[in-house]
């Protein structure tokens, strides 16, 4: 007691600094050997007394309470009460932000089991504590958002980690208290009074992903406390009016009180979470959910619409009885009353009103069927001030279309809409809405899709309905009612008509002729109505909007009429008069030319182009008529919608069209530029040779105008489009002069970025043209001009790339002789760096004219040193495809260049180009069977330089890496030829040994096969040792490419035919390799390559495998399934099993149990992957299942050995079927069981019937019966 008093005096001693006293309190609290009774209670009470005035005390208090848990000491009741009251007061009254240390103390209180037990006896304090904590967390969060200049709302609810932990632990603590409390109702009342509202206020409803953990935990908490299974009868009696349950009364009373104090967002979130929890618990009882729904909506007061919108979304999966009466009101009538409240509003409808109309319509269309006319009358001309209101309006219209389809009332939709619109226009004569605002695009698209699913009688009926409303509400009212009112009504009616015509499918082959005639008659009536409208418009003052309406309606009518006349010729549509007579049309054209704006002219041009298209089908010599304005007004319209009419354009019109197209292409953005490119790729335009030639020439002319004072300008200046189009023969190349060869091409260095950008766009357009399908003359012109452009802009990489692609396109069909126009001296130096030019050069060499003159031979023979190897390579490719005359000429050139190649090589060969020269010279000499000594020495010298002089092929120096790679690649190509003629070239063994050092880094299958034949046993042993070390190192590294290269070498070694000495070395190395694979830790990504190597070893016909090898192979494969854990490894294991059964069948008969164990693991893994909801690679899963079937077939071929094992394998397969759904692989696995049953004797079948459990026995019985009935061979055909 003395120590207790002394400690208290020391803590209360104001003379001592507070940090020193806090340190004393911490040390005393955490000390385990201080003999003071109840020191923990003393210290915690003292800290609670000091904490309200000193912020640093909370750190000590946090340390003490967590230390108390570690020391397993217990605070007394008074101390717990003091601690909770102190925290509650601080959370409630502290003005500054709550520090994290205080929140840590709250977390300790919430998570400590003894504190949870304490709260069971003081529920009011517990609820008050949670309420203050949750409210304070939200307030502090909003304060933080305000300091960051954000608007404090739910979107700013980004809680820190410690605050989120507080909320989650509050929920968990509440659940624990509820679980262990004897009176669940008291806990539920505490939850409703104190926790529900502040907890829901911390939930952001926009969180819909897995990050909304607070929302998920809140849902679980509400469900357990308020809507547990034990409370079902209580709620059921309350909803039926039989009982007066305590909790239901409390729930709805509390909700009513809370809703009066809360904002709309908070109300919506709280009620939606409570209602969703109720639905989740009692979803099978539709009547109870109905009562909850109505009670929640009625308790919302003025927020009925908002609450209904949130709650109604949870009713979609509930089986509701809409005739269920509550308070003498059915659910149908209740929902109807909600709609009536919206329609009776005097103010403008909001987004939430539209959303509620949509939700009710989606829930049950019968509710709104009788109300749709009134709804349309209210909303069609309603002003909508925000984007969200427009979207909600559109979504309701779409839901109305869906409702009419679900109710089979599609034919009533048009009368509902148009009657409502007409009535609304009469009531609101000053409406300023546009037709697209009344019937938005998304709605008309939905209406079009609705029309596409109608039957023929419905189509005819809707067409008649449209005609009736167009006549009565529009044509008959023309010049009688208000002009604006009639115009808007006509626009909306025509808009619906166009959408309807775009969707109907009346032209199917199975439509009866009487139905076709009915539709034709209805279409004729509509044409008469449009004709009347046309005459009225012609006899009145010009009205631009009505003119556009008439033209759009006539255009849509004309499209349907033309299709009807073509696909249903017996319907009589061909005799139908056109709605607009010729006189009225000419009068209309005159008016539009004089008074029409851009919209009128565009509508008229579209109408005229369509008529011309129809006439073109009937009259091939049709002409473009009825167009107003210049080409710039309708060029895009022609290319987009009527590319067939391009063939009717004159040359001047075609040149104008292409000019406008190219100008538009330059100024447009990337997305629009892509659309313009797609226009050029239209099949109709690609097949129009005139158009392709004109735009090709126009592009070159435009590029020539940009390349000022350049060779491109000189060539393009000679392009004459008229002459090109009129030329009947491809012999003359337009714009090119064979007497003036293109030589030195100056580089353009003065072009601005804008000019380079335009050239780039023009080249993109050029790539969209079908250049490869043009004639030889045009392709030659394209090649030469593009070549000049590429050489002029060689400093601009993007232009060079585009030019090379165009050059490639022009060469694709062959037949070009570019050397007739490009000087050989300027072309040859560029060959080594350009594959496209090499192809052009080869095509030219095939032409007799190219090699007919001595200048060509002289030029080729004296080509630059760096081009010798490329020229020789081209000659080699061409020689086999030419006639004897050209071949003799090329032989002369080849001989001269071969001599030069040897003379120009340095003694120390270090470049890929020099290696290539020697390679070509060696090929030439070997072809003539005369290899001189100096060439042999050069080859040996080069091979020594490449493979024996310490060339570091693994170096990664940035400056020389690419050159070294090329050098080694060319050296390996030479090595292949040299090794093929090793005896003739007299290559020493040390060079062969030196080649291996490089081949280990750069393996090539062709070279390896030859190299293995030339390798001595001693060198072969050294190679195997190096290869083993290299494999061991690369198995540890993540680089799968390196390991794959190494395994390529192993594959060649295993597959090669060897003598006795080397075969022993190979077997020893293979045994050593497999032992290493058994021991080493192999990375997951390396397993597929390792398994493929094992397959090669098994399939090798040149190597004898011992039983030890087979055992190790099966052990490695078993390990791969266990560690690889992917379908790729499993597929390779199954292929390995198949290889063992096919290639090593004599060795597998004694090892069938071991193989079957591996096979079972593979089957189990495949089945487990098939049961997953989404398999990443379904194709690979199918391959695995197919390989399982193949392995089973191979096993069944060993009938004598498998007969006694098949029942056990069948039981394993049945077990796979019993564990779950195998739909993706069911058929292959079923085939496996059928194959196994075919070799299983009656005793084995009886064994399975006896041994399998009841459930699996039934599965086996069904499979056995299916096999016996459909698959078993009975000897009958």
CA distance 457 to 443: 23
Q: Which two tokens stand for residue 856?
A: 């060509």
pLDDT given at position 955: 40
CA distance 754 to 752: 5
Return the bridge partners of 330, or none: 325
Return the bridge partners of 326, or none: 329
Of 852 and 1243, which is predicted with more confidence?
1243
pLDDT given at position 416: 93
CA distance 1216 to 955: 53
pLDDT given at position 41: 79
DSSP state of 1176: S
Q: What is the mean pLDDT of residues 614-634?
A: 79
**DSSP assignment of 532-595, as one string?**
HHHHHHHTSS--HHHHHHHHHHHHHHHHHHHHHHHH-GGGSGGGPPPSS-HHHHHHHHHHHHHH
Degrees to nearest 5, angle at CA 790 with 893 and 860: 10
Q: 582: Cβ–Cβ under 8 A, 6 or more apart, which residues?
A: none
Q: 939: Cβ–Cβ under 8 A, 6 or more apart, which residues?
A: 918, 922, 974, 978, 985
Q: What is the mean pLDDT of residues 536-563?
A: 89
pTM, to two decimals: 0.69
pLDDT given at position 1137: 92
Task: Specify the range with the lowest mean pLDDT, choosing from 67-81, 477-491, 854-868, 1074-1088.
Answer: 854-868
Sign of CA dihedral 662, 663, 664, 670: positive
Look at residue 1277 and tell me whether its pLDDT is greater than 60.
no
Q: What is the mean pLDDT of residues 124-153?
A: 74
End-to-end C-alpha distance for the chain, whole angstroms: 106
Please report which helix (H) or strand (E) contains residue 330, including its range: strand 329-330
DSSP state of 840: H
pLDDT given at position 890: 77
Look at residue 482 and tell me whether its pLDDT is greater than 90.
no
- 953 burial (CB, 10 Å; 0-12 / 13-18 / 19+) is middle
pLDDT given at position 895: 75
Range from 479-483, 531-535, 913-917, 1007-1011 that averages highest in pLDDT: 531-535
Q: What is the mean pLDDT of residues 312-326?
A: 87
CA distance 837 to 853: 22
CA distance 150 to 132: 24
Of 406 and 302, which is predicted with more confidence?
406
CA distance 892 to 882: 15
Task: Specify the range with the lowest mean pLDDT, choosing from 277-281, 1009-1013, 1216-1220.
Answer: 1216-1220
Q: Indicate the pLDDT class of residue 861, thresholds 50, 70 and 90.
A: low
Average pLDDT value over all residues in the chain: 82
Residues 940 and 892: beta-carbon distance below 8 Å: no
**pLDDT tens digit sequence for 1123-1140:** 877 888 889 999 999 998
Q: What is the mean pLDDT of residues 1141-1163?
A: 87
pLDDT given at position 909: 62
pLDDT given at position 953: 40
Sign of CA dihedral 448, 452, 454, 459: positive
Find the length of the chain: 1277
Percent of the chain at pLDDT > 90 equals 16
pLDDT given at position 1258: 79
CA distance 305 to 354: 10
Q: What is the mean pLDDT of residues 1009-1038?
A: 86
Q: Indicate the pLDDT class of residue 727, thresholds 50, 70 and 90.
A: low
Return the bridge partners of 822, or none: 742
pLDDT given at position 910: 62
Q: What is the dihedral of CA 574, 575, 577, 578, to 10 degrees?
A: 10
The single residue listed with the structure tokens 């040792």 is: 1025
CA distance 1081 to 1063: 29
CA distance 1155 to 553: 76
CA 8 to chain centre: 70
pLDDT given at position 481: 62
pLDDT given at position 216: 86
What is the three-class DSSP state of 325?
A: strand
Range from 201-205, 210-214, 1021-1025 that averages highest in pLDDT: 1021-1025
Of 147 and 66, which is predicted with more confidence?
66
Look at residue 509 and tell me whether its pLDDT is greater than 60.
no
pLDDT given at position 99: 84
Q: Which two tokens stand for residue 461?
A: 């009926």
Q: What is the mean pLDDT of residues 529-557?
A: 89
pLDDT given at position 1171: 72
Residues 75 and 83: beta-carbon distance below 8 Å: yes
| CA-wise closest residue to 625 among 644, 604, 640, 639 | 604
Look at residue 1187 and tell me whether its pLDDT is greater than 80.
yes
Q: Which two tokens stand for residue 800?
A: 């060079």
Residues 914 and 906: beta-carbon distance below 8 Å: yes
Of 1102 and 559, which is predicted with more confidence?
559
Q: Indicate the pLDDT class of residue 15, thresholds 50, 70 and 90.
A: low
Q: 993: Cβ–Cβ under 8 A, 6 or more apart, which residues?
A: 1015, 1016, 1019, 1022
pLDDT given at position 804: 92
Determine how β-strand 325-326 pairs with β-strand 329-330.
antiparallel
Look at residue 958 and tell me whether its pLDDT is greater than 50.
no
Q: What is the mean pLDDT of residues 979-1007?
A: 79
Q: Indicate the pLDDT class of residue 332, thresholds 50, 70 and 90.
A: very high
The single residue listed with the structure tokens 């000087």 is: 823
Q: What is the mean pLDDT of residues 831-838?
A: 85
**pLDDT tens digit sequence for 253-289:** 888 888 878 777 788 888 888 998 999 888 888 899 9
**pLDDT tens digit sequence for 145-192:** 555 544 445 555 677 888 888 999 999 999 999 998 888 899 999 999
Of 71 and 264, which is predicted with more confidence?
264
Look at residue 956 and tell me whether its pLDDT is greater than 50.
no
962-to-586, 919, 999, 1046, 1136 alpha-carbon distances in Å:
73, 20, 18, 22, 39
CA distance 687 to 681: 10
CA distance 727 to 738: 18
pLDDT given at position 852: 58
Residues 580 and 531: beta-carbon distance below 8 Å: yes
CA distance 241 to 94: 47
Return the bridge partners of 325, or none: 330
């Amino acid at each position: 007691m003395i120590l207790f008093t002394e400690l208290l005096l020391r803590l209360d001693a104001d003379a001592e600094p507070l940090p020193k006293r806090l340190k004393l309190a911490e040390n005393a609290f955490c000390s385990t050997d201080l003999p003071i009774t109840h020191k923990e209670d003393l210290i915690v009470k003292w800290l609670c007394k000091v904490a309200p005035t000193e912020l640093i005390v909370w750190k000590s208090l946090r340390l003490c309470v967590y230390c108390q848990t570690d020391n397993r000491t217990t605070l007394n009741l008074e101390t717990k009460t003091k601690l909770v009251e102190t925290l509650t007061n601080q959370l409630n009254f502290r003005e500054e932000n709550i520090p994290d240390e205080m929140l840590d103390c709250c977390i300790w209180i919430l998570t400590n089991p003894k504190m949870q037990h304490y709260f069971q006896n003081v529920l009011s304090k517990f609820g008050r504590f949670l309420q203050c904590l949750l409210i304070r967390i939200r307030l502090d969060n909003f304060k933080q958002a305000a300091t960051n200049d954000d608007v404090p709302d739910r979107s700013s609810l980004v809680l820190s980690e410690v605050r989120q932990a507080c909320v989650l632990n509050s929920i968990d603590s509440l659940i624990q208290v509820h679980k262990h409390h004897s009176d669940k109702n008291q806990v539920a009342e505490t939850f409703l009074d104190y926790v529900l509202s502040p907890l829901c206020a911390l939930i952001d409803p926009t969180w819909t992903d897995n990050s909304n953990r607070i929302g998920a935990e809140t849902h679980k908490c509400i469900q357990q406390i308020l809507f547990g299974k034990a409370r079902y009868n209580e709620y059921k009696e309350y909803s039926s009016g039989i009982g007066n349950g305590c909790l239901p009364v409390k729930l709805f009373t509390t909700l009513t009180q809370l809703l009066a104090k809360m904002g709309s967002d908070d109300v919506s979130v709280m009620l939606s979470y409570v209602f969703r929890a109720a639905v989740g618990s009692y979803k099978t009882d539709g009547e109870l959910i109905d009562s909850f729904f109505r009670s929640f909506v009625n308790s919302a007061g003025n927020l009925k619409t908002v609450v209904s919108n949130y709650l109604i979304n949870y009713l979609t999966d509930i089986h509701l009885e809409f005739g269920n009466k509550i308070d003498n009101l059915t659910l149908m009538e209740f929902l109807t009353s909600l709609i009536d409240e919206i329609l009776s509003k005097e103010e403008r409808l909001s987004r939430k009103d539209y959303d509620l109309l949509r939700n009710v319509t989606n829930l049950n269309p019968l509710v709104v069927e009788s109300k749709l006319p009134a709804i349309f009358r209210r909303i069609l001309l309603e002003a909508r001030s925000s984007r969200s209101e427009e979207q909600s309006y559109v979504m309701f219209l779409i839901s109305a279309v869906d409702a009419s389809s679900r109710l089979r009332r599609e034919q009533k939709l048009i009368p509902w809409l148009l009657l409502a619109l007409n009535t609304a226009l009469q009531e609101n004569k000053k409406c300023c809405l546009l037709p697209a605002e009344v019937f938005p695009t998304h709605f008309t698209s939905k209406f079009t899709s609705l029309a596409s699913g109608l039957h023929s009688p419905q189509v005819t009926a809707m067409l008649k309905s449209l005609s009736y409303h167009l006549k009565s509400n529009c044509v008959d009212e023309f010049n009688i009612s208000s002009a604006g009112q009639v115009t808007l009504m006509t626009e909306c009616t025509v808009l619906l008509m166009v959408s309807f015509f775009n969707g109907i499918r009346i032209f199917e082959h199975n439509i009866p002729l009487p139905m076709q005639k009915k539709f034709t008659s209805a279409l004729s009536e509509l044409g008469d109505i449009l004709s009347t409208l046309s005459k009225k418009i012609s006899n009145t003052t010009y009205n631009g909007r009505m003119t556009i309406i008439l033209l759009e309606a006539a255009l849509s009518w004309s499209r349907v009429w033309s299709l009807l006349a073509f696909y249903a010729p017996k319907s009589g549509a061909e005799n139908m008069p056109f709605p607009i007579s010729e006189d009225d049309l000419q009068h209309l054209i005159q008016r539009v030319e004089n008074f029409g704006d851009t919209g009128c002219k565009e509508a008229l041009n579209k109408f005229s182009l369509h008529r011309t298209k129809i006439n073109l089908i009937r009259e091939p010599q049709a002409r473009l008529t009825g167009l107003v304005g210049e080409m710039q007004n309708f060029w895009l319209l022609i290319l987009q919608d009527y590319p067939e009419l391009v063939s009717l354009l004159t040359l001047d019109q075609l040149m104008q069209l292409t000019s406008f197209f190219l100008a538009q292409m330059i100024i447009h953005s990337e997305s629009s530029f892509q659309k313009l490119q797609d226009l050029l790729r239209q099949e109709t335009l690609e097949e129009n040779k005139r158009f392709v030639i004109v735009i090709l020439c126009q592009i070159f002319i435009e590029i020539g105008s940009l390349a000022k004072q350049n060779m491109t300008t000189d060539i393009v200046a000679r392009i004459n489009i008229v002459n090109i189009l009129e030329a009947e023969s491809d012999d003359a190349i337009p714009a090119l002069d064979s007497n003036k060869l293109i030589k030195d091409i100056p580089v353009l260095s003065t072009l601005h970025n804008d000019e380079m950008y335009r050239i780039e766009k023009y080249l993109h357009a050029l790539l969209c043209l079908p250049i490869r399908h043009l004639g030889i003359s045009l392709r030659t012109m394209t090649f030469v001009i593009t070549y000049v452009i590429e050489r002029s802009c060689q400093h601009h990489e993007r232009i060079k790339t585009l030019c090379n692609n165009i050059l490639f396109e022009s060469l694709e069909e062959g037949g070009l002789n570019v050397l007739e126009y490009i000087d050989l001296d300027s072309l040859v130096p560029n060959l080594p760096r350009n594959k496209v030019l090499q192809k052009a050069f080869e095509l030219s060499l095939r032409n007799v004219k190219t090699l007919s003159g001595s200048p060509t031979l002289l030029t080729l023979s004296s080509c630059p040193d760096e081009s010798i190897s490329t020229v020789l390579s081209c000659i080699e490719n061409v020689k086999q495809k030419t006639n004897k005359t050209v071949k003799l000429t090329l032989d002369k050139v080849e001989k001269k260049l071969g001599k030069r190649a040897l003379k120009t090589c340095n003694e120390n060969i270090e470049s890929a180009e020099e290696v290539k020269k020697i390679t070509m010279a060696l090929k030439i000499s070997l072809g003539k069977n005369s290899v001189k000594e100096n060439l042999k020495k050069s080859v040996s010298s080069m091979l020594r330089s490449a493979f024996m002089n310490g060339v570091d092929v693994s170096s990664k120096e940035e400056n020389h890496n690419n050159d070294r790679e090329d050098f080694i690649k060319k050296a390996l190509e030479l090595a292949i030829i040299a090794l093929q003629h090793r005896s003739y070239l007299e290559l020493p063994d040390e060079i062969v040994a030196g080649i291996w050092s490089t081949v280990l880094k750069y393996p090539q299958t062709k070279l390896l096969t030859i190299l293995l034949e030339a390798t001595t046993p001693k060198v072969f042993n050294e190679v195997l040792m190096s290869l083993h070390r290299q494999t061991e190192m690369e198995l540890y590294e993540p680089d799968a490419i390196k390991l794959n290269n190494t395994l390529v070498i192993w594959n060649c070694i295993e597959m090669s035919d060897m003598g006795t000495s080397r075969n022993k070395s190979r077997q020893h190395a293979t045994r050593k390799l497999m032992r290493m694979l058994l021991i080493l830790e192999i990375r997951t990504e390396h397993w597929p390559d390792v398994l493929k190597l094992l397959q090669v070893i098994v399939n090798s016909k040149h190597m004898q495998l011992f039983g030890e090898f087979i055992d190790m192979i099966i052990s490695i494969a078993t390990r791969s399934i266990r560690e690889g854990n992917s379908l790729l490894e499993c597929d390779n294991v199954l292929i390995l099993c198949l290889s063992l059964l096919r290639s090593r069948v004599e060795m597998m008969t004694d090892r069938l149990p071991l193989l079957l164990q591996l096979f079972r693991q593979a089957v189990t893994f495949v089945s487990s992957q098939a049961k997953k909801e989404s398999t990443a690679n379904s194709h690979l899963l199918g391959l695995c299942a197919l390989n399982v079937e193949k392995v089973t077939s191979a096993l069944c071929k060993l009938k004598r050995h498998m007969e006694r094992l098949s029942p056990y394998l069948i039981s394993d397969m049945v077990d796979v079927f019993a564990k779950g759904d195998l739909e993706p692989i069911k058929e292959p696995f079923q085939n496996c069981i059928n194959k196994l049953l075919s070799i299983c004797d009656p005793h084995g079948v009886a064994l399975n019937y006896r041994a399998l459990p009841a459930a699996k026995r039934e599965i086996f019985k069904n499979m056995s019966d299916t096999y016996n009935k459909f698959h078993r061979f009975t000897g009958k055909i």
